[in-house]
Structure 1
Amino acid sequence: MKLVRYGEHGTEKPGLIDSAGELRDLSSIVADIDPYTLSRESLQRLAAVDPSTLPKVSGTPRFGAPVAPVGKMICVGMNYAKHAAETGAPVPDQPVLFMKATSAIMGPNDDVVIPRGSTRTDWEVELGVVIGETARDVPLEKALSHVAGYVVVNDLSEREFQFEHGGQWVKGKSCDTFGPIGPWLVTADEVPDPQSLRLWLEVNGHRYQDSNTSDMVFGVAKLVSYISRYMTLLPGDVISTGTPAGVGLGLKPPTYLRPGDVIELGIDGLGRQRQQVHAHPADQGNAR
């Protein structure tokens, strides 16, 4: 299934995308695409519903993040060897973890706002993993059974904040609008191998990132198992699994987002995002 949340910010409704690509309303079945909806039993009940019996949604409504609320968003750094190389970092021998504030999360096509005073806002296409069953110190062989589904994530980053404002990556990752998720959550049964997904990102039509999740240093199962040793993963939590090479930081010379830019990104089978980049209100009118 492809599960969505559609409508204006703060009043999104649950829906699904049927086999013909039509948006269907799920409000009569579930209250929201929330942690309760992501349980194995709940997803099985939804899968048994005939989509043709659900109301079609007309027009082209806004999509919000496809799960809410997200309890925590855990991100993985340097999880593609070529990305580590382009940033001058060694390939880690254990997953590098950091958090992104959930206040950064937004819909897949909402506007990105460059933070006040920023000159180094960067892009990062990533595979997101949505937890459906509580995971607490789970063994590797059982890790994927705790996954409800997968999403596209743009892990936007401000590199000065990340590396030069006291050494805390979370500062460069958590600005408002820095967490587009969606357009939909594809349930795990439709993604038999999360390590064989092509992912890509373009800015103004130029393709900067083009890779495959097979190139991850640590795969999804390893990440779920590893992270669950250090913290309990709860339904609705999101793991953003790292970005491949091609970020602005690694280009020569480095290239960063500017007002007016258009970011497009996607993962095969999981949909695509499109964001327009805007200046922070305090910086509007300033030359950049």
Structure 2
Amino acid sequence: MINLSYLISTKNRLPYLKITLAHLIQNCLPDEEIVVVDAHSSDGTGEYLKALLKEGKIHQLLIEADKNQAHGWNKAMMMAKGILLKKIIDDDVFCFEAIRKCKNQLLAHPEIDFCISNALSVNLSNPELIEPSSRFEQFSAWKNGSTKSFSFSDVYLMIRKSALAYTGLYNTQFVMLDWEFALRISYLNCNIAYYTGYMAMGVGTPSNITSLTSKDTLKNEGKIGAFLYQYEGDSNDISLWSKTKIFAGKLLKKESKNAWLKDQTADLDLQALYNNFYQVINQKEITTDATFY
């Protein structure tokens, strides 16, 4: 039986993907699987993934074009054999100790549909500045009935696959797909648990989907979310998390034209940075007196 499926949907992000998969493969347990969807990358990703599949290091692989980001992730969720699903974004960082705790909590409590946690965040333009973030205040307000819905990133979300029959998959009409999904599942009063440890670190990188989102798209999707899910917002029409990620991505995209990200030695620098990020989040998890709510 597969208890947990790790899901990756990727396109042309091979330097990040290699780092992320190396850590994931090392930490994947016998009751877990790795499912990868590649949207016909042109940077050698397909060949790299086929080799991993042949070696048995990943368990399912689909290489075909998709319509958009949500479409790719939905394919991965439908392919998954696990009771639980954990989305692994190719350029973010994950604490597998915290993921394991959330997995065990959900397996022990089948009434829980979803689990979210605290997170860390960092931008490659300033990799020394690693900051904690929390949605516990928003979660608590929703839990006590003060708000109808609240937003969060799916970088630190764990999903019970059977719950998707009620909530549906990602909305393919949204660029900010995790934002809309968070509002939807909270508005539907799904059973969401909160872990005060750290499942993930969001990393601001150039040319990711978030960084390419326009202000008009952000504003329009915010209005739709407010209408559909009675979302009051953190400050305006969309979450502070989303605003921060978009700003960071655009800044990095601009800087990367002449920065080390364009240099041939970028892989070596990237590896060193990410090694530090993994050390930081693992240490943060170890030193945090975390619990479930």
TM, length-normalised to structure 1: 0.26
Between Structure 1 and Structure 2, which shows a larger proportion of helix residues?
2
Between Structure 1 and Structure 2, which shows a larger proportion of strand residues?
1
TM, length-normalised to structure 2: 0.25
